[in-house]
Structure 1
């Protein structure tokens, strides 16, 4: 399992309707992408729900590196790059994935934080696994995931929610669309 995200931080007065229209027109193109667990088309607007910026920031969980590479090098990513410039794409190795009982993804929370510099690495990642499990078990949660970037020693926690008052800390995004062709095949639990 691989997590991936890029962020397009937009001018404060940017018409977010452009992003909404783009997702409405093109979001379905990944609804059956081979190797994709899910893509959450995320947006947040400056001044709404505490956001300091306007952003388009899709988050992906991939079942296969082949699916991810096909997206990045085989054309899926090219359209975004053509329209907005090529953003930096963050990638993390999956640590844990858990399903919740929620039914409709309306909001997402993403939180980055460093792996503690002291202590055992095994304890830090077990804490991340427990947090993914906790997030998924909360009322209104669809899923919880944790991943790590070992080049930065940074953890990312990601969760999808039915409501805009999740029991999770981090940046709150609206989900504009959810493509989830392989969500049912994402491996549950700890990934080692």
Structure 2
């Protein structure tokens, strides 16, 4: 499992309906993408759910590197690059994944929390705690799924969760889910990834 995300931070007066219309027009194109666990088409609007910015920030969990590479290098990503410029694409190695109690419900909200892996942490203990935190998050009312991943070049942890209802009482950045492509979600391995 491999996580990926890019962020397009847009001007404060940007018409976010442009993004909504774009996702309505092209979101289905990844509904059957080989190697993709899921892609969430995420939006933050300035002044909504505490967001200081307008932002389009899709989040992906990939089952295969080939699927991700085909997306990035095979032409699909070029449409976004053509329209908005080439964003920095963040990548994290999968650490844990769990389905939530409302896994079959449509996702309305996503929460992303990034934090550093503490200097001096015993990695086996820290990551075991992360796997347990992911399980706990997925067990909360309204959770569709929860995932954790680590960027070992920055020693940064990302915890990502989808929710069937409004913003949960979870620390992190809150996003609206515009669309969820999930061709390989059922194949994502559950639990810790080591």
TM value normalised by structure 1: 0.98
* Counterpart position of 1:95: 95
- Which stretch shows the higher mean deviation, 104-113 or 162-171? 162-171
The DSSP-based 3-state class of the residue aligned with 2:9 is strand
Aligned equivalents of 1:40, 1:167: Cα separation in 2 = 20
Q: Identify the residue that residue 75 of structure 1 maps to in structure 2.
A: 75
d(CA) in 2 for partners of 1:185, 1:148? 20
Instruction: Find 1:164's aligned residue among 163, 166, 172.
Output: 166
1:49-60 counterparts in 2 under 5 A? 49-60=49-60
Q: Structure 2 matches for 1:134-149, cutoff 5 A?
A: 134-149=136-151
- Cα deviation, 1:16-45, whole Å, max 9, x if unaligned, reads 000000000000000000000000000010
Using the alignment, how far apart are the partners of 1:141 and 1:78 within structure 2? 33
Aligned-residue offset at 1:146: 0.3
CA displacement at 1:167 relative to structure 2: 3.5
* Partner residue, 1:175: 177
Match of 1:26, SS state, is: helix
Asked whether 1:122 is paired with 2:124, we answer yes
Calculate the TM-score normalised by the size of structure 2: 0.97
Give the Cα–Cα distance (whole angstroms) in 1 for the partners of residues 141 and 64 of structure 2.
Answer: 30
Match of 2:134 in 1: 132
Q: Deviations over 1:84-129 (max 9, x none)?
A: 0000000000000000122110000001000010230111111211
Dislocated runs of 4+, deviation >4 Å = none
CA deviations on 1:121-157 (whole Å, 9 max, x unpaired) are: 1111112111111111000000000000000000000
**Unpaired runs of 5+ in structure 2?**
none
Partner-residue secondary structure (3-state), 2:12 = coil
**Structure 1: 5+ residue stretches without partners:** none
Give the alignment's Cα RMSD to 1 decimal: 0.7
Contact 2:42/2:59 (<8 A) preserved: yes
TM-superposed CA distance for 1:165, in Å, is: 2.9
Secondary structure of residue in 2 paired with 1:92: strand
| CA distance in structure 2 between the partners assigned to 1:96 and 1:39 by the alignment | 17
Contact 1:40 1:58 in 2 (8 A): yes
